[in-house]
Amino acid sequence: MDLQLHGTRVLVTGGTRGIGRAIVEAFLDEGAVVGFCARRPDEVTATQEALRDRGTVVGAVVDVGDGPALAGWVEQSAADFGGLDVVVANVSALAIPDTEENWQTSLNVDVMHTVRLVRAALPHLERSPAASIIAISSVSGRESDFASGPYGTAKTAIVGYIHGLAMQLAGKGIRANTVSPGNTYFEGGVWASIETGDPALYATAVGLNPTGHMGTPEEVAAPVVFLASPVARRVSGTNLVVDGALTRGIQL
């Protein structure tokens, strides 16, 4: 299937590892022009070098918790690309323990970075013929689990925010959707750390999934790219759960 993404101008926050890196790669494979950001200069440089033969990709060092820096990156990217068509809010602080600091961090990084990214990108998306907003939430935002608290609540808020955007922006031809991954394993990720640091929790998490294994970043990236594409032009306001049948609640 041709996803009609060739030449599409895309921004992805947190694009150097895990799900974000896989999303960048998947867009590049569809012929999109991709900008990504992350906090660590060495990881940004390494990622850009690794992917430069895959397509047009531009990395930037940005802390998405810094509102002005995030807005500046969006503006500079739009100027460099001649506009924007798709933005993907992927970054999460992964602040799970129930502390005051983690509540503040989750709200600022997970929720407000999504809000700020959208606000900065909207003037450019309004000029796009196929504008799309994607935010990465989590199954922890849909059902109560061990990550309930700062992380889970922030992820629930993202789903609500994006659903409201879908209604508010439909008349402007801008779509907004959320993708909620289940447990996703990759080297250097949170589950790889839990595998060695808390093997009992890791075994429990794997055992809860009917597939018998965790997902991969690539398995999350594929539906993200599809939802962002013109092929999915009738889909807006959806929270697409990508979890291998992990969650038990029925979405009505």
* Catalytic-role residue among 155, 185, 229, 236: 155
Alpha helix ranges (H) inside the chain: 18-29, 41-51, 67-81, 100-105, 113-125, 150-169, 190-197, 199-208, 217-228
* Catalytic-role residue among 92, 138, 229, 236: 138
Residue 106 a catalytic site member: no
On whether the CB atoms of residues 150 and 102 are closer than 8 A, the answer is yes
Say how far residue 227 (Cα) sits from the centre of its chain.
Answer: 12
SS3 content of the chain, % helix, strand, coil (to 5): 50, 15, 35
Q: Which amino acid is at 220?
A: V
* Catalytic-role residue among 137, 140, 180, 236: 137
Of the candidates 35, 125, 134, 133, the residue with the CA atom closest to the CA atom of residue 84: 125
Residue 137 a catalytic site member: yes
Residue 185 a catalytic site member: no
**Prediction pTM value:** 0.96
* Catalytic-role residue among 151, 161, 185, 202: 151
- pLDDT tens for the 252 residues of the chain, in order: 899 999 999 999 999 999 999 999 999 999 999 999 999 999 999 999 999 999 999 999 999 999 999 999 999 999 999 999 999 999 999 999 999 999 999 999 999 999 999 999 999 999 999 999 999 999 999 988 888 999 999 999 999 999 999 999 999 999 999 999 999 999 998 899 999 999 999 999 999 999 999 999 999 999 999 999 999 999 999 999 999 999 988 887
Of the candidates 69, 83, 80, the residue with the CA atom closest to the CA atom of residue 117: 69
Domains of the chain with CATH codes: 9-241 (3.40.50.720)
Residue 138 a catalytic site member: yes
Each residue's pLDDT tens digit, 97-143:
999 999 999 999 999 999 999 999 999 999 999 999 999 999 999 98
